């Protein structure tokens, strides 16, 4: 599943290409995504202009000029294609795909300037909904989300207060979207490795100086991943058709049975399951 950096890359790409375009019509090819598409709501956004595109956690918010917001989640395999009909050849602005992939196109937004936005999703775990802009942050998807990890609200003081009297495992905590929004399995593994903390350690045993390190490395890792275009795991690539490069910097994720990359550490990366999610760590230097 795309995590915060991958969704941020898509958000920036869409904003660059779609801002100020007007929706001429919406073609719903298949309405059976994670949630059934309400065709009546989608018909009401005709003639509305995109004024901005935001990201909240792993969600995309496409804001329109008549108080409507398109809320999208990519699920496991969701992708957006941008197609410029005025050109005969595909440009670098959208995915490169084969003819057989067309069967996974579910929604097409047709804009002015002969531009289309296509939502493609092989497994159909993603969704697209329409909300009143004033109410979108109150919806069930967004209402209970924690602070954005790159914001000033996510800091060691907040961290300390949140874990008071809690005994959950540290990896479960930083993956909890109510605690901090947007982090997923890939980046949590990498953060804990850099902090030399075992994913199985409980938060009551995390020292204050370690909390500062966790906050620091979460911000560093996410910024690096965004700069590098995210991580290409299985089906994800950016809206420009570029693959992410952060996976080349993985220290532990998907590196089980390989040597720890820390100098002078003789540990071997181990894979275990923490709350039914794969955890990769070095048992020698992560305690």
Catalytic residue among 11, 17, 58, 213: 58
Tokens of 251: 């220290």
Catalytic residue among 3, 8, 190, 240: 3
Whether 234 sits among the annotated catalytic residues: the reply is no
Instruction: Examine the residue annotation and report whether 2 is marked as an active-site residue of this protein.
Output: yes
**222, 76 in Cβ contact below 8 A?**
no
Active-site entry in 2, 5, 149, 199: 2
Task: Tell me the C-alpha distance between 59 and 219, whole Å.
Answer: 19
Residues ≥6 apart with Cβ < 8 Å to 88: none
Sheet holding 59-64, edge to edge: 50-56, 59-64, 68-73, 127-132
Query: Rounded to whole angstroms, what are the CA distances from 171 to 1, 91, 276, 281?
Result: 17, 40, 12, 11
Nearest to 106, CA basis, from 49, 39, 44: 39
Task: Name the token pair of 124.
Answer: 């159909």
Terminal-to-terminal C-alpha distance of the chain: 28
Q: Give the separation between CA 211 and CA 89, rounded to whole angstroms.
A: 50
- The tally of CA atoms less than 13 A away on the side-chain side of residue 273 is 3
Kindly state the tokens that stand for 240: 């420009």
* Per annotation, catalytic residue among 19, 24, 261, 277: 277
- Distance, in Å, from the CA atom of 97 to the CA atom of 99, rounded to the nearest integer, reads 7
Catalytic residue numbers, as ranges: 2-3, 58, 277
């Amino acid at each position: 599943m795309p995590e915060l950096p991958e969704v941020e890359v898509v958000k920036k790409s869409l904003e660059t290409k779609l801002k100020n375009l007007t929706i001429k019509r919406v073609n719903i090819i298949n309405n059976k995504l994670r949630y059934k598409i309400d065709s009546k709501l989608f018909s009401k956004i005709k003639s509305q202009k995109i004024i901005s595109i935001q990201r909240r956690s792993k969600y995309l918010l496409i804001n329109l000029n008549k108080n409507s917001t398109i809320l999208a989640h990519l699920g496991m395999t969701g992708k957006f294609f941008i197609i410029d009909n005025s050109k005969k050849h595909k440009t670098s602005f959208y995915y490169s795909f084969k003819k057989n992939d067309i069967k996974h196109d579910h929604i097409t937004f047709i804009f002015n300037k002969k531009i289309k936005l296509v939502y493609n999703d092989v497994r159909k775990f993603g969704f697209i909904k329409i909300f009143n802009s004033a109410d979108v942050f109150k919806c069930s998807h967004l209402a209970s989300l924690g602070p954005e990890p790159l914001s000033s609200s996510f800091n060691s003081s907040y961290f300390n207060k949140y874990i008071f009297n809690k005994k959950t495992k540290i990896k479960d905590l930083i993956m909890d979207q109510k605690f901090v929004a947007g982090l997923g399995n890939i980046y949590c593994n990498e953060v804990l490795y850099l902090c030399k903390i075992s994913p199985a350690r409980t938060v009551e045993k995390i020292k204050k100086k370690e909390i500062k390190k966790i906050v620091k490395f979460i911000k560093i890792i996410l910024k690096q991943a965004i700069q590098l275009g995210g991580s290409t795991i299985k089906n994800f690539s950016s809206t420009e058709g570029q693959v992410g490069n952060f996976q080349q910097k993985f220290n532990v994720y998907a590196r089980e049975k390989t040597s720890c990359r820390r100098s002078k550490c003789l540990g071997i990366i181990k894979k275990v399951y923490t709350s039914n999610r794969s955890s990769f760590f070095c048992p020698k230097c992560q305690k």
